[in-house]
Amino acid sequence: MASALLSLVKKLIRKGSLKLTLASGEMHMIGDGSGETIVARIADQQAEDAIARDPTLKLGEMYMEGRFILEQGDIYEFLSLVKQNTTNEIFDFRMAALLLGRIVLQQIKSRSPINRNKYNVAHHYDLSAKLFDLFLDEDWQYSCAYFNPPGISLYEAQVAKKRHIAAKLLVEPGQKVLEIGSGWGGMAMYLAEAYPGLDVTGITLSEEQLKVSRERAAKRGLSDRVRFELQDYRYLTGKKFDRIVSVGMFEHVGIGDYGKFFNKIAELLDDNGVMLLHFITRPKPSYATNAFIEKYIFPGGYIPSIGETTPPLEKAGLLTRDIETLPMHYAYTLRHWRNNFVARKADAVALYDEKFFRMWEFYLAGSEMGFRWDELFIMQMQITKNQFAVPDNRNYIAEREAKLKEFEATRAPLEKVTF
């Protein structure tokens, strides 16, 4: 009986070199022989059939379960080989139907009145803090770093990211600042220490992040100026903020709630206020999240296109005053995270198990591949309600970054988080 998976792979892989051993034991050389050969093996017939039926989901699952085995090369190299060969030729009616079904399901879920935000956040961010300590930088920044200048370390690039965002926020001492999606507290603490008298509120839906953030702020003597709350942004009322910042959170809002998000920003932002929104975006809509990522990593998440983002912002009466794209910086960030994670494999397996390690390795590799080959990038949008709230040129960014570097040179070192 002919192998459906072999037929699919032969249609797909035209360039490069793949040595594939099927469940039957048959070995096939696929591609034009160029580049380093990647050697893969399918452990059993059920795994082979599953990948052939639904490669978007089942390849990752079979890798997790140790039934899709790489004997030479790693999962990132395999995914890159696949992506660099991808064309529309491999899509048949069955795959198109699968994709359409997932699009319809995600569109319905994103518009559901049932609030699953806390559950979705907990699924990922309430994992053991020890897990994130395996691969993040010293400040636990779990968003795209800013590798400017090129070649700096992950920690330096994360500091550069915070510096760049702070400069665009045009923060002044004594202002009230809101951070939506405050993570483990690094951004809020950076702002509070850089600008005397700043009053910072960070909100999150992760109980684990809340606990760590409060402990970190207390250790640095910031509890009187930086408060972290378990709070859904949609239900925050009765306050106005001079500055609002949100880094890596908008991807979790869901396409059906963009209008609610920007309406809430318009409600919370002072008339002369400034917001900086930092998020992953794409050049055109995808309508649904990758099936593996949706099921195992970020349920309810969705990466918007530029065109899906701006209409609800405009309808909320907000103004876009500055836009900057960071085209490859997340790929560099993910490469650091993946290398760190793989280097600490024994610790990750001890914390969870081998299957969990492979799940996260696949997630990190697939995400890096997306930024290198799928045209994903980071966008930073500076948003106001008043066109005079920011200068009429961008010179202030470099000027403010220079002053922030002076602050960083005198800032007390970050303490190691203990568990």
Residue 105 lies in a domain: no
Q: CA 26 to CA 45: how far, in whole Å?
A: 12
Phi, psi (5° rounding) for residue 248?
A: 70, 20
Domain CATH code at residue 281: 3.40.50.150
Domain CATH code at residue 61: 3.30.1050
Q: Which residues contact 284 (CB under 8 A, 6 or more apart)?
A: 305, 307
Shared domain check, 205 and 77: no
Q: What is the DSSP string of 330-363?
A: HHHHHHHHHHHHHHTHHHHHHHS-HHHHHHHHHH
Shared domain check, 343 and 203: yes
Residue 326 lies in a domain: yes
Shared domain check, 175 and 272: yes
Residue 233 lies in a domain: yes
Residue 94 lies in a domain: no
**Encoding tokens for residue 153?**
């370390």
Shared domain check, 198 and 51: no
Shared domain check, 204 and 325: yes
Q: CA 195 to CA 225: how far, in whole Å?
A: 11
**Encoding tokens for residue 145?**
């770093």
Shared domain check, 68 and 127: no
Shared domain check, 144 and 47: no
Residue 419 lies in a domain: no
Into how many domains does the chain fold? 2
Q: Which residues contact 339 (CB under 8 A, 6 or more apart)?
A: none
Residue of 279, 319, 303 whose CA lies nearest to 370: 303
- Owning domain of residue 179: 117-410
In 220-344, alpha helices (H)? 258-268, 291-292, 306-315, 329-343
Q: CA 231 to CA 248: how far, in whole Å?
A: 17
Residue 312 lies in a domain: yes
Residue 112 lies in a domain: no
Shared domain check, 52 and 176: no
Q: Render each residue's pLDDT in the chain as its tens digit; 419 residues.
A: 468 999 989 988 999 999 999 999 999 999 999 999 999 999 999 999 999 999 989 999 999 999 999 999 999 999 999 988 875 444 454 544 444 444 445 555 555 555 556 666 666 777 888 999 999 999 999 999 999 999 999 999 999 999 999 999 999 999 999 999 999 999 999 999 999 999 999 999 999 999 999 999 999 999 999 999 999 999 999 899 999 999 999 999 988 899 999 999 999 999 999 999 999 999 988 766 788 988 898 887 889 999 999 999 999 999 999 999 999 999 999 999 999 999 999 999 999 999 999 999 999 999 999 899 888 999 999 999 999 999 999 999 999 999 999 999 999 998 766 65
Q: Among 71, 89, 107, which residue terminates a domain?
A: 89
Shared domain check, 341 and 280: yes
Shared domain check, 194 and 129: yes
Q: CA 94 to CA 397: how far, in whole Å?
A: 51
Shared domain check, 124 and 84: no
Cα 235 to Cα 66, 259, 271, 318: the distances in Å are 43, 15, 20, 20
Shared domain check, 131 and 10: no
Strands (E), 207-344: 226-230, 241-247, 269-281, 319-326
Residue 96 lies in a domain: no
